[in-house]
Amino acid sequence: MNILKAIFLIFLDLFVLSSTAFGQKVTVKMGPDQFAINQLWTITITVQNDRLRNYSNFPEIKGLVKRGTSSSSSTNYVNGKMSSSQSIIQNYQAMGEGKLVVPAFEITVNDQSFSVKGKSLTVTVPTQQPRSNFQDPFQDFFQQRAPSEFIEVEADAFLALTTDKNEIYIGEGITTTLAFYVAASNRADMKFYDLGTQITGIITKIKPENSWEENFNIDNISGEPVKLKGVQYTQYKIFQATYFPLNLDTINFPSVGLKLIKYDQVKSPSFFGRNRQENYETFYSKPKTIRIKELPSHPLKDVVNVGSYKLKEAISAGKLTTGQSFNYSFEIGGTGNISAINMPKIESNKLFEFYEPNTVQNIRRSSNRVTGSKKFDYFGIPNEPGVYELGDFIQWIFFDPIQQKYDTLKSEIQLQVDGESRKNEYISSNDLGSFYDIIEDEDNQLVSIKNGMGYKIVINLFIFAILVVSIALLLKK
């Protein structure tokens, strides 16, 4: 019975709450319902027969403090079949004894969301150290303990500022990433410190002058497994943005520092007292220089956009009559500085009337690049009958840095216009009237207004005399 009772207690202590996705071998487990205040409580994510590519932040739990993460992996061969698992473990430390409640929470693993039910926890008094039969069980309480000696654990981690290119054309985008890398072999216990304030200062230092910025706005910093030179790391992206230089000045990214909390470990661990001591360490990135190249010679090299673009167009009707309005959209999409895309050039002509377009812009920042589109919606009216290629009237020139050449987006729509010519209507609509027609024939010599002053005096005296007579007649009556 004692053996059965012991087995039952072991299973009770190791009871976990699991949420497993249908069709995926992903498990989220919580630690026991009861644990001592000097023990760590854990939440474990395990992925079987697949790689743990990404996961969201572990929950913040009232009454518990996060105390670093650890990871593990295993590979098994059974009957010639291989099975593997990879786990990430979040440690929590209780702030005091008593009852705690872990609320239900959502967590994302490998881009899939999992719902985990809450549970109640009981935090008990510290567990005692194993003692020999001859040791006084109360001596630790009544004897003065020697001060603990702490040792620094070297961190196998680094801070790096990287770019997707080392040299670019003026106007071409360069994606800049600042990330913290922690090796799988790292044994130092660390956590981020006051990231919001630090990132604000870092952005101010690294943002190049005279450049347009597209910020990726990283709100949730989570680890992502990467391999660098054959070594497995966890990458924590802190900041990412794409910069588009507006002049030929060299971009110089300076060295920046990121301060982290790193714990020194006690030399002789014990159940009583502190087993680690909070300390700080600052990691520095290396400076980086990006050379800006001038665009090849071209009459429009100072005004063209730089990027890789394609045209998407649409028209309300392919057959029209003169005077009938139509809608035409010229949409430029691709990779580059979408915000800087200027309007297509429309050659001035009397065959069509094009009005100022409405503009719709969409920008996407993902996969380490900036993509999107800018659409120009035109309202037009044909004035002359005929068959026309819209590409002869509307086009957009840009420089493609990948092909390293200038290219032109031109309409491929053919428009058929029937009806009578609107040439006379166009002339009359632009006729300003006979008053303006005789301007060229009139003398432009200045004439003094003082020449008719004598007539004005006589007229004024006559009006005054009439006024006096009228007043006199009124008084007489």
Task: Please say if the pLDDT value at position 99 is more than 50.
Answer: yes
Q: Report how many domains make up the chain.
A: 3
Residue 141 is assigned to a structural domain of this protein: no
66-70, 354-358, 404-408: segment of lowest average pLDDT: 66-70
Question: What is the rounded CA–CA span in Å between residue 173 and residue 171?
Answer: 7
Q: Which of 117-121, 175-179, 386-390, 458-462 has the lowest mean pLDDT?
A: 458-462
Query: Looking at residue 140, what is its pLDDT?
Result: 45
Spatial separation of the C-alpha atoms in residues 165 and 157, rounded to whole Å: 24
Q: What letter represents residue 161's amino acid? A: L
The C-alpha torsion from 339 through 343 and 344 to 345, rounded to 10°, is -140
Domain contains 458: no
> Quick one: which of 243, 391, 377, 239 has its CA closest to 306?
243
Whether the per-residue pLDDT at 462 is higher than 90: the answer is no
C-alpha to C-alpha distance for 377 and 355, rounded to whole angstroms: 10
pLDDT digits (tens, 9 = 90+) for 167-215: 999 999 999 999 999 999 888 888 898 888 999 999 999 999 899 999 9
Q: Is residue 383 part of a domain?
A: yes
Neighbours of 77 (CB within 10 A): 9
**Burial class of residue 305 in the structure, from the number of CB atoms within 10 Å of its CB (0-12 exposed, 13-18 middle, 19+ buried):** buried
Whether the pLDDT of residue 400 is over 90: the answer is yes
Q: Which amino acid is at 402?
A: I
For residues 250 and 323, membership in a common domain is answered with no
Domain membership of residue 144 (yes or no) is no
**75 found inside a domain:** yes
357: DSSP letter: P
Q: How far apart, in whole angstroms, are the C-alpha atoms of residue 305 and residue 59?
A: 45
Residue type, 64: L
Domain match, 341 and 417 both: yes
pLDDT for residue 436: 53
CA distance 53 to 71: 13
User: What is the pLDDT confidence band of residue 350, given thresholds at 50, 70 and 90?
Assistant: confident
Q: Are residues 174 and 104 in the same domain?
A: no
In the structure encoding, which two tokens stand for residue 221, read together? 């910093």
Query: Taking 70 as the threshold, does the pLDDT of residue 41 lie above it?
Result: yes
Rounded-to-integer distance, Cα 25 and Cα 103, Å: 24
**Residues 238 and 162 reside in one and the same domain:** yes
pLDDT in tens, 248-304: 999 999 999 999 998 887 665 555 555 677 889 999 999 999 999 999 999 999 999
Q: Is the pLDDT of residue 467 over 70?
A: yes
14: pLDDT confidence band, cut at 50, 70 and 90? very low
Check residue 246 and give its pLDDT: 94
At 91 the pLDDT is 85
Residue 138 confidence (pLDDT): 43
Residue pair 155/261 in contact (Cβ under 8 Å)? The answer is no
CA dihedral over 160, 164, 169, 171, signed as positive or negative: negative
Its domain, for residue 230, covers 151-293
> 173 in helix, strand or coil?
coil
Q: Are residues 115 and 168 in the same domain?
A: no
Six-digit token string for 255:
């060295």
DSSP code per residue over 416-459: EEES---HHHHHHHT---HHHHTGGGS------GGGGHHHHHHH
Cβ neighbours of residue 282 closer than 8 Å, sequence gap 6 or more: 257, 258, 259, 260
Longest dimension (CA), the chain: 144
pLDDT over threshold 50, residue 1? no
Q: Which residue has the tokens 């002053």?
A: 453
Task: Find out whether 32 and 120 touch, Cβ atoms under 8 Å.
Answer: no
Q: Let me know whether 286 and 168 are in one domain.
A: yes
Task: Label residue 192 exposed, middle or buried (CB < 10 Å: 0-12, 13-18, 19+).
Answer: middle
User: Are 364 and 384 in the same domain?
Assistant: yes
Q: Which of 414, 429, 444 is the last residue of a domain?
A: 429
- Residue spans of beta strands (DSSP E) within 95-208: 98-102, 105-109, 112-116, 119-124, 150-151, 157-163, 167-169, 174-183, 189-192
Strand partners, 381: 353
pTM above 0.95, yes or no: no
Which of 125, 160, 190 delimits the end of a domain? Answer: 125
- Same-domain status, 88 and 172: no
Q: Over the stretch 123-176, which tens digit does the pLDDT of each residue have?
A: 998 876 444 443 444 444 444 444 556 677 888 999 999 999 999 999 999 999
| DSSP 3-state of 52 | coil
Q: What is the CATH number of the domain that holds 115?
A: 2.60.40
pLDDT of residue 321: 93
| Higher per-residue pLDDT: 62 or 19 | 62
Query: Which tops the pLDDT comparison, 467 or 390?
Result: 390
Q: Which region holds residue 11: left if phi is over 0, alpha if psi is between -120 and 50, else beta?
A: alpha
* Mean pLDDT score across all residues of the chain: 82
Closest to 148 in 3D by CA, of 27, 317, 263, 24: 263
pLDDT > 70 fraction of the chain, expressed in percent and rounded = 78
286 and 309 both lie in a single domain: no
Judgement on whether residues 155 and 289 belong to the same structural domain of the protein:
yes
Q: What's the rounded mean pLDDT across residues 5-10?
A: 42
Task: Give burial (CB, 10 Å; 0-12/13-18/19+) of 169.
Answer: buried
**Domain boundary residue, one of 386, 410, 429:** 429
Query: In whole angstroms, what is the distance from residue 34 CA to residue 64 CA?
Result: 13
pLDDT tens, 318-327? 899 999 999 9
Same domain for 214 and 280: yes
Assess whether 325 and 410 both reside in one domain: yes
pLDDT of residue 72: 63
